[in-house]
Structure 1
Amino acid sequence: MNYAYEIRRQAEAAPRAALPVVASALWKAFGEGHLSEAEAEALSGLIEARQGVFITETPSSPPGLTGAPRSRVGSRPRTDASMERRRRWAASGRLPPGLAARFTL
């Protein structure tokens, strides 16, 4: 049985909704050693072309926006009470309190 021919025939005849099943059969046959790497790559390309999967460049920023990205709003509070609370929470862990105080802002 010529697996490459059968999978190619199925990939060309199958509706788009059934192509994932064909791709699964392709990789199963490849895993069992019935297809060479070159055949599997060619058939995979055929299936992807039929599915309409194209790798496109993603835009770096949404259209209409330019310049540097905005900084995040709502940073952690810097009041004395919040800093003491953070130090107390850090000191309740495995570090000694003096050492933990150095690692919290």
Structure 2
Amino acid sequence: RFGENHAIMGLAFTWLMACACAVPPLVGWSRYIPEGMQCSCGVDYYTRAEGFNNESFVVYMFVCHFLTPLTIVFFCYGRLLCAVKEAAAAQQES
């Protein structure tokens, strides 16, 4: 059952992932630069200068904040599909 603890854990995980995305450039791993019309900031994906470690930061962002959640989503939907197939087969038998 989904309870208050699950909601609190979900909120904590959401804030943890948001901080894991936002804090590294603030402490020196990559950096923020103005984007487009100079009215917003984003992570510097383009600079290849020494000292900014942009390549490793892009790999970190891709693996931790795209590939890992995508894998979890596929796994969960795969489990859901298997459960639905089992329920349909059980209903067909009865």
TM-score by length of 1: 0.25
TM-score by length of 2: 0.26
Name which one, 1 or 2, has greater alpha-carbon Rg: 1
Greater fraction of residues in strand: 2
Greater fraction of residues in helix: 2
